[in-house]
């Protein structure tokens, strides 16, 4: 096979993957879009794209033709450069493998052919994911463990290399809006914020126990999350926050409360506290809306009346714990019998119960079809081997056959 690697996760995962693919006699070529990508060159050929975004389409068409590329792998299918290649692969019938953090976390990564999340080939037919039970449950043995320190180091190396080689990639268009200083400050302040809120969040958890069964939980997503930009009609987290608080003020029971949780990867970059405080003051909700950072989800779930999300993977976690969930965006798990139908205004008073049998079928379908028991940041050889087997066709999985209804 002639395999093209585009941008991968932060760190050396694609470098390790390229070695394994090359050892299996596959030809590998990797494109570098900036100096950060070049910090971990692949074992095969490395090609730098230094042109403008407008010239990318012609560049990649020529590269695919010259190298006889028959498989493409990337991390994140919504980045500008990756979207161009995805469309091209559909035209040329070339398998386009997209990777992401796991739908089911923390011990899994996502790998799908065609796209992930609402671009997944299973999204249009997601009802099928809950139709039939799998004959055998998915077996997973790897416990990944903490990854923050490694992610911080990989991010530091990536952004420093990107800054040092900026002269070589003058036209690079990045999917993240932060400068090197802002990225560095974000990682440092993220760690500081984590420790600053440890005690206040501990106190908040004690307070929340008094509201058991009356808490609506809103897990905020990363501010530049493609899940919001591509897979919802919202302009961003701020609009989501405004809509949720406004609807809650108008329609929720007066004894219910609203709890927002900041995304851990956004701690050092943005804060929505000022916006939330301002809206609460205008709407008279000062005593009914809370905002936390380090709130353990397993301890929260038994206290909740419902979860409101755009399309976060926290929604899957909430469904696992049988917490009624409402999606404001497009999500692979937004399926009748699992998530609540209708409007947000209705959800405050009529959160639909979760069918545990349907959720277990969904979970097993996602595990068998889209997940790998691996990490992008630890146990890299193990994860790369799983990816290589799936991409090269050594390991495949299909939905269980539909059960035919007995004729009368």
Phi, psi of 146, rounded to the nearest 5 degrees: -65, 145
Same domain, yes or no, for 356 and 387?
no
SS3 215: strand
d(CA 133, CA 183): 45
- In-domain check, residue 211: yes
- In-domain check, residue 153: no
Domains of the chain: total: 2
- In-domain check, residue 384: yes
Same domain, yes or no, for 356 and 306?
yes
pLDDT in tens, the chain (408 residues): 999 999 999 999 999 999 999 999 999 999 999 999 999 999 999 999 999 999 999 999 999 999 999 999 999 999 999 999 999 999 999 999 999 999 998 899 999 999 999 999 999 999 999 988 898 999 889 999 999 889 989 988 998 999 999 999 998 876 555 566 666 666 566 666 666 777 888 899 999 999 999 999 999 998 777 888 899 999 999 999 999 999 999 999 999 999 999 887 777 668 888 999 999 999 999 899 999 988 899 999 999 999 999 999 999 999 999 999 999 999 999 999 999 999 999 999 999 999 999 999 999 999 999 999 999 999 999 999 999 999 998 777 777 776 544 443
What residues contact residue 113 under an 8 Å CB cut-off, 6+ apart?
Answer: 95, 96, 97, 98, 121
Look up the pTM and report it: 0.88
SS3 219: strand
Same domain, yes or no, for 59 and 36?
yes
Closest-CA residue to 102 (of 366, 397, 391, 393): 366
Mind listing the pLDDT tens digit for each residue in 212-224?
Answer: 999 999 999 987 7
Same domain, yes or no, for 143 and 212?
no
d(CA 388, CA 20): 7
- CATH code of the domain in which 138 resides: 3.40.50.20
Mind listing the pLDDT tens digit for each residue in 250-290?
Answer: 999 999 999 999 887 777 668 888 999 999 999 999 899 99
- In-domain check, residue 196: yes
Same domain, yes or no, for 318 and 254?
yes
Same domain, yes or no, for 213 and 349?
yes
Same domain, yes or no, for 334 and 385?
no
d(CA 35, CA 246): 44
Same domain, yes or no, for 384 and 353?
no
Closest-CA residue to 110 (of 339, 382, 376, 389): 376
| Domain boundaries, position 58 | 2-147+374-391
Same domain, yes or no, for 241 and 124?
no
Closest-CA residue to 7 (of 78, 70, 58): 78
8 A C-beta contact, residue 275 and residue 233: no
Token pair of 10, please? Answer: 């932060």
- In-domain check, residue 157: no
SS3 253: coil
- CATH code of the domain in which 348 resides: 3.40.50
Same domain, yes or no, for 343 and 250?
yes
- In-domain check, residue 326: yes
Closest-CA residue to 204 (of 268, 270, 262, 284): 262
């Amino acid at each position: 096979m002639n395999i093209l690697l585009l941008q991968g996760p932060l760190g050396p995962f694609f470098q390790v993957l390229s070695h394994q693919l090359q050892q299996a006699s596959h030809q590998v070529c990797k494109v570098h879009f900036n100096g950060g990508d070049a910090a971990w060159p692949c074992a095969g050929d490395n090609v730098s794209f230094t042109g403008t975004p407008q010239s990318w389409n012609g560049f990649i068409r020529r590269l695919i033709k010259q190298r006889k590329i028959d498989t493409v792998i990337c991390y994140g299918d919504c980045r500008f450069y990756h979207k161009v290649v995805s469309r091209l692969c559909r035209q040329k019938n070339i398998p386009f493998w997209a990777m992401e953090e796991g739908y089911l976390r923390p011990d899994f990564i996502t790998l799908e052919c065609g796209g992930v999340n609402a671009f997944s080939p299973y999204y249009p037919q997601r009802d099928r994911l809950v139709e039939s039970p799998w004959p055998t449950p998915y077996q997973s043995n790897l416990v990944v463990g903490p990854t923050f320190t490694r992610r911080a180091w990989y991010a530091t190396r990536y952004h420093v290399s990107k800054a040092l080689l900026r002269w070589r990639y003058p036209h690079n268009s990045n999917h993240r809006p932060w400068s090197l200083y802002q990225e560095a400050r974000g990682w440092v302040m993220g760690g500081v914020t984590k420790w600053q809120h440890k005690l206040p969040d501990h106190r908040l958890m004690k307070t929340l126990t008094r509201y058991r069964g009356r808490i609506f939980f809103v897990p905020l997503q990363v501010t530049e999350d493609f899940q919001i930009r591509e897979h919802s009609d919202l302009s961003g987290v701020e609009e989501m926050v405004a809509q949720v608080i406004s609807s809650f003020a108008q329609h929720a029971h007066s004894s219910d409360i609203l709890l927002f949780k900041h995304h851990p990867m956004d701690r050092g970059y943005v804060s929505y506290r000022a916006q939330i405080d301002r809206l609460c003051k205008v709407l008279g909700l000062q005593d009914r809306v809370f905002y936390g950072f380090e709130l353990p989800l397993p301890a929260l779930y038994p206290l909740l009346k419902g979860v409101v999300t755009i399309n976060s993977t926290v929604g899957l976690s909430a469904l696992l714990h049988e917490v009624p969930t409402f999606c404001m965006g497009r999500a692979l798990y937004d399926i009748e019998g699992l998530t609540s139908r209708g409007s947000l205004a209705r959800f405050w008073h009529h959160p639909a119960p979760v069918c545990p049998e349907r959720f277990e079928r969904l979970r097993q379908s996602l595990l068998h079809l889209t997940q790998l028991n691996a990490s992008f940041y630890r146990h890299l050889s193990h994860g790369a081997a799983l990816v290589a087997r799936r991409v090269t066709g050594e390991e495949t999985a299909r939905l269980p056959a539909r059960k035919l209804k007995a004729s009368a």
